[in-house]
Structure 1
Amino acid sequence: MLIVITSEEFVEDEINIIKRLLKEGLTTLHVRKPFFSSEEMKRWLFNFHAEEHQQMMLHQHHFLAEDFQLKGIHLKEEHRKSIKGKEQDFLEKIKSQGWVLSTSFHELQEVENQTLFDYAFLSPVFTSISKHNYEGKKFSVQQNKRPVIALGGIKTENIEKAYQLGYQGVAVLGCVWHQENVITSFKNIKKEYKRVYQ
């Protein structure tokens, strides 16, 4: 699984760039806009067609996933805490909507115990491109039974290493959005991802 996470900062022409990424074969876009109100998120989502919505995982304002028939939702740690003790009811609701459910962890022990989610991010695997002083820990997940996606410092040069560490895919942010040409950067990542994983 190759995932792109949106930038939380302003990106010029972002909507058209995302449409291009989806045309170039991106199948999962994580929409992470922590500073958006629900109204701003709604307006942002209105820029896309139904088939594009079906490739999107939403990090905030989860109720909009139903309104726009998105691919699924991503739970942060605070969301996981809010459903503690009610996991089964929550999961049944998610499945009844046909959504994919993901989350993220920062410790290997946490991800080893996860059973609720379709997949989980683990970070930082490598030293982050978008966050300063965020050192990579090179976690190995070869023994993990559920899909784990490598996040943190992913670039073309270390996708093969992520595969060797047992990850079922990679999620990228900085190596796409912090480059001069986002589309070219994505194409290079995708080419290396296909070489390693397929």
Structure 2
Amino acid sequence: MPPTRRVRFEAHTAYTAPHGSRAAVVGVAEQWGGVPDAVARMAESPELLTGFLRLSAAFDGVTLDPLARETVVMTVATRNDCHVCVELHTAKLRRLGADAESVAALRAGTGLRDERLEALRDFTLRVLATAGGVGDHELTAFLAQGFTRRNALEVVLGIGAYTMSTLANRLVRAENVQHPAG
């Protein structure tokens, strides 16, 4: 049997992306000063790229604070073994001023010292493990840390957006590089 050739997804630019992805690629390039490899490769599917960007923007607008949102994202990224996501969101955590110990724990998928964020991390994992069938005990423990029922649903939104991203990034073999805007 001949050796299997590694399949590569093209890292698109605004000029090579399918028509439906071009505006999204241009928008990301303007916002980031370039196009992250994950976006460049997801651009192969306009529906996936624009869907992810819309969902991640919606997640950015929820009532969870930025550090809590990044806790959800990193929990999904480490669980789904998306190395590029872990690297991108490690940088975001650092920009948010997260302490080194918390960043290391999130990267390793281990418990956090901060009880509130650990409750959020644990709740995120339970939602994933049970496909949303979280028991009353776990939901009560989450709510006891000052989270709301709305926050519980916001976690589901974050899981949805970043499960899409992590699976796509692994499929397209995204790397932690940024391409020029053009």
Task: Give your verdict on TM over 0.5.
Answer: no
Which of the two has higher C-alpha Rg?
Answer: 2
Q: TM-score, normalised by structure 1?
A: 0.28
Higher relative contact order (CA 8 A, sep 6+): 2
TM-score normalised to structure 2 length? 0.29
The structure in which a higher percent of residues are helix is 2
